[in-house]
Structure 1
Amino acid sequence: MITVVMGSVVPVAPDPAFAWEGPDPAAIERVVTGFAGRAGYPGVAVAITKGGRVVHVAGYGHDSTGAPVTGTTPMPVASVGKSFTALAVMRLAEAGKVTLDAPVRDYLPGFRIADPRGARITVRQLLNQTSGLTDRTLAEKSLPQPASPADAVLRARRATLAAEPGTKHFYTNTNYHIAARLVEVVTGEPFSGHLRRHVFGPLGMRASTAIDLTPRDLPRGVAKGHVYAYGASIPATEPERFVGGSDGVITTAEDMARWLIVQGNGGRAADGTRLLSAGSVAAMHTSSDPRWTYGMGWDTDGGGRVRHNGVWFTYTASQLLLPSGYGIAVLGNSGIGLGNEGTDQLANELAALLTGGDPPSPAPARLVADLVLAGLTLVSLLLGVRNLRRARAWAERFAGRPAWRPAVRLLPRLVPLALAVSLPVLLGLLVGGGRDITRLQLGYYSVALVTWTTVAAVANAGVLVVRTAVLARLRRSAAAGRTAGASS
């Protein structure tokens, strides 16, 4: 077994009984580096397991300091962390300390929301995202960010429900913020400490930790991730966000290999340590209702595959379990953005390679999207300049016409401004499935989109103001001329 680090081959202690069952590391490297080049990822780390064995751990590229990414490079895995929170709760359920179908209030007496139906939300409904809470009933990114899981539960008191608990699936981080606090209250331990002692520790995940607030709590060894603009990856600090229980796990590819083994080996670690029963692992991996595909901290897709992705604005990650027994984890140091919904595409390409398929090589959608937006920005700027220069000629055409005629012609100039103002809401609805996003975070998501809408809004607003001013001046001059003529 080998690990590839920046093109060099480094031996790793193998299982004596292990025999390579998949493509060679060079084939994996071609897939990873091909994806990284197309999608704008300076650095990627990968872990692949089969049953109870690690078959490949590698780092490719570099981080924002220029240091090589390796299998031991610490990176956030974002919402992949939900599967860790779900496992912590499931362990409490197996120990008889929590009943999944009991109301959350049984364990969090202070939990209440601005909707009487909230009293019926169960622990299971938090984990399978069917509590009825949504980003639209509690704007978890736009509101002031809590500093701890306890504060997050207090913040949730202003929430309402979009549906009766247990009837619809709505993905929101708030459910897992509350679940993290439940773990704290039931165990009497801080959530991060509980994961360290009862999950990371037993699995030998010594490089892993969990944080509450970005960027405040990021460990010193975690380099800045990246945002993407016009073909360039730009180092950036993650904006302030509460991530406790929902997307706050920081780990490495090596540690994720240990995690994948537990998931693919019925809750048992490579050294035989049992973290959870096989039945509980299967329950986490399975949706409890055919109306949705989400289990508890894991999602399912066609062909019996189980997965969860994770997206920050500066990092993304994916984990994928295949029916063949392979587990795949991917950690990338570039964030979610227009034309890049994360590392799931790479996980799928690796899955195709591992199962004997031909990994696809799609177009560089991220670059194409930014180049199109760059073209639109240039066109908007040039049209704005041209229309400003022709403002007097335009005003002269409408100077003698009824006022409603130029007003009708000018009103469409407000559309780009309306688009720029409403873009966070529109993007959350159209692309994010109703997720919340702030205007600052929108800049992380797509510099090119924000630049185009801003330029278009300013250019059109400028044309509207200048044309209106010139038209008013011409009308006043004409009126003054008529008055003078009448007097003489």
Structure 2
Amino acid sequence: MTTIDTAHWEQRLAELVARHGIPGAQLGILVLGKDGAEDEVFTAATGVLHSGTGQPAATDSVWQIGSVSKVWTATVIMQLIDEGRFTLDTPVKEIVPSLELSDPQVTEKVTVWHLLTHSSGIDGDVFTDTGRGDDCLEKYVADLKTAQQNHPLGATWSYCNSGFSLLGRIIEVTTGKTWDAAMREKLFTPLGLTHTTTLPEEAMVFGHSMGHLKGGDEPVLAPVWGLPRSVGPAGLITATATDVLSFARLHLTGGLAADGTRLLSEDSAAAMAAYQVECPEKDLLGDSWGLGFFRCDWNGRRAIGHDGNTIGQTSFLRLLPDAGIAVSLNANVGSAIPLYRELFGEIFKALADVDFPAAFEVPAEPVTVDATPYVGTYERASVTEDVYLDDGKVYLRTALSGPIAELEKSEPEVHELIPVAPALFALQPDATADNFYPVRFYMLPTGERYLHYGARATPKKTS
């Protein structure tokens, strides 16, 4: 029996993409076959790849999947663990002897597990461009000695792109190949992927999406196509939704490729989806983290997945293991969360009778919270966040610095923090969009105060 109403979802994708003012998007849905039946796979595309050229989006067009790449890098790390090359608890310095971080103790003690779970405390937004050569990751890791330590090792959770570039270097040292070559050999080729690449010159043989900083009637193209090669393991895979679903299938089946080849042990596949660490705030991505995947509680049903953002491109991947369903969405605009919530909510309701949790939003009735303890400056290497009071209201001023700020030509932004609960506030980044982001204040057991916003933990520097 056919489960996926292909005509309906093709129409809904087109309707919602148009409604949300997104230049182009690509959708993929996978439903595993049961009792020997074949899998159902549906893909659709709508809009354009590039607002300047008007090139139509197609199902075989490739899109930057951004940080969804992290789960792919994590999968290869787990394959190497299956091979006995190292363990989750192996100190990284035993694998990469040249490792030198700003904190000597972290240099000696940080493990593979800390990197996979974003709990190393290494500044997560180091986007140093170390060139296009095959030694770019080696150079990147050498430069990490200048990266700040944002929180004590293992003390909390903070999203860490840098840790995944370091995981990519672990893959290189262990296999003797570049990260790009190792990914092809251990994942892309065994999975039979035909439109998945890591380098721009490989992606450009296909119709490929261009990022947009803004959609709508007057779209604004991204100033560059992609990020530096040095952050490849954290977010440079380019693929179609079809190929992303083939990767998702590997995890829905406990480590098996479509032809039955075991690429990942059942134990490793289970560990990647299992609880590893708690997230300080649970309203943005997931309530907890596995090894690569984040974990979502959908009203009692456990989903796993990852999101991706590059410069003007967005990607979403969700797996509902108990139903054998995976959904992939790629869009060429800087933020597509409203589209994701509406479309995925409808798809998973129709296919698995699961209800999405309510979106994070401001309370219907105003809440009074004493914000005085939270006032001050919070700072990490690439971001300064000032919390202050003005005329009885709370505000957050965010100023970016470094390579990403230069690429995006970003200016400091000021947003009101709307009280939701003690230590929890809502921020609306775009006044024209009805979506809010959580801003949580918390304290480590050792007394250090932190602000958690945008999945990053930022330490308090001054009151």
* Residue among 332, 351, 354 paired with 1:354: 351
Could you report, residue by residue, the CA deviation over 1:81-104 in whole angstroms, capped at 9, with x for unpaired residues?
Answer: 000000000000000012110100
Specify whether residues 122 and 250 from structure 1 end up closer, same or farther in structure 2 by C-alpha distance, changes over 3 A only.
same
Give the structure-2-normalised TM-score: 0.70
2:398, 2:413 within 8 Å by CA — same for their partners in 1?
Answer: no
* Residue among 134, 138, 143 paired with 2:123: 134
CA–CA distance in structure 2, aligned partners of residues 270 and 174 of structure 1: 32
CA–CA distance in structure 2, aligned partners of residues 446 and 20 of structure 1: 51
Specify whether residues 46 and 184 from structure 1 end up closer, same or farther in structure 2 by C-alpha distance, changes over 3 A only.
same
Matched, 1:301 2:296: yes
* Residue among 83, 105, 108 paired with 1:117: 105
CA–CA distance in structure 1, aligned partners of residues 356 and 302 of structure 2: 19
Matched, 1:205 2:193: yes
Could you tell me which residue of structure 2 aligns to residue 319 of structure 1?
Answer: 317
The CA deviation at 1:224 is: 2.0
Could you tell me which residue of structure 1 aligns to residue 7 of structure 2?
Answer: 26
Q: Which moved more, 1:59-68 or 1:82-91?
A: 59-68
CA–CA distance in structure 1, aligned partners of residues 205 and 48 of structure 2: 17
Is there any run of 5+ residues in structure 1 with no aligned partner, and where? Answer: 1-18, 363-422, 450-488
* Residue among 220, 227, 232 paired with 2:218: 232
Matched, 1:182 2:170: yes
CA–CA distance in structure 2, aligned partners of residues 348 and 443 of structure 1: 34
Could you report, residue by residue, the CA deviation over 1:307-339 in whole angstroms, capped at 9, with x for unpaired residues?
Answer: 100011221101101132211111112223xx8
1:77, 1:311 within 8 Å by CA — same for their partners in 2?
Answer: yes
Matched, 1:219 2:217: no
Could you report, residue by residue, the CA deviation over 1:53-93 in whole angstroms, capped at 9, with x for unpaired residues?
Answer: 23312222221132332221111100000000000000000
2:119, 2:153 within 8 Å by CA — same for their partners in 1?
Answer: yes
Matched, 1:283 2:267: no
Task: Report the 3-state secondary structure (helix = DSSP H, G, I; strand = E; otherwise coil) of the residue aligned with 1:243.
Answer: helix
Task: Report the 3-state secondary structure (helix = DSSP H, G, I; strand = E; otherwise coil) of the residue aligned with 2:234.
Answer: coil
Could you tell me which residue of structure 2 aligns to residue 411 of structure 1?
Answer: none
Task: Report the 3-state secondary structure (helix = DSSP H, G, I; strand = E; otherwise coil) of the residue aligned with 1:29.
Answer: helix
CA–CA distance in structure 2, aligned partners of residues 66 and 227 of structure 1: 16
Specify which structure has the higher proportion of helix: 1
Larger radius of gyration: 1
Q: Tell me the number of residue pairs that the alignment of Structure 1 and Structure 2 aligns.
A: 361
Could you report, residue by residue, the CA deviation over 1:10-52 in whole angstroms, capped at 9, with x for unpaired residues?
Answer: xxxxxxxxx3124x12221243223312332221111111225
Task: Report the 3-state secondary structure (helix = DSSP H, G, I; strand = E; otherwise coil) of the residue aligned with 1:45.
Answer: strand
Identity over aligned residues, as a percent? 26
CA–CA distance in structure 2, aligned partners of residues 87 and 160 of structure 1: 27
Q: How does 1:162-177 map to 2 (within 5 A)?
A: 162-177=150-165
Q: How does 1:97-108 map to 2 (within 5 A)?
A: 97-108=85-96
**Equivalent residue letter for 2:312:** T
Report the aligned-residue RMSD: 3.5
Could you tell me which residue of structure 1 aligns to residue 308 of structure 2?
Answer: 310
1:257, 1:329 within 8 Å by CA — same for their partners in 2?
Answer: yes
Give the structure-1-normalised TM-score: 0.66
Could you tell me which residue of structure 2 aligns to residue 439 of structure 1?
Answer: 405
Specify whether residues 361 and 56 from structure 1 end up closer, same or farther in structure 2 by C-alpha distance, changes over 3 A only.
farther
* Residue among 78, 87, 98 paired with 1:90: 78
Specify whether residues 438 and 189 from structure 1 end up closer, same or farther in structure 2 by C-alpha distance, changes over 3 A only.
closer
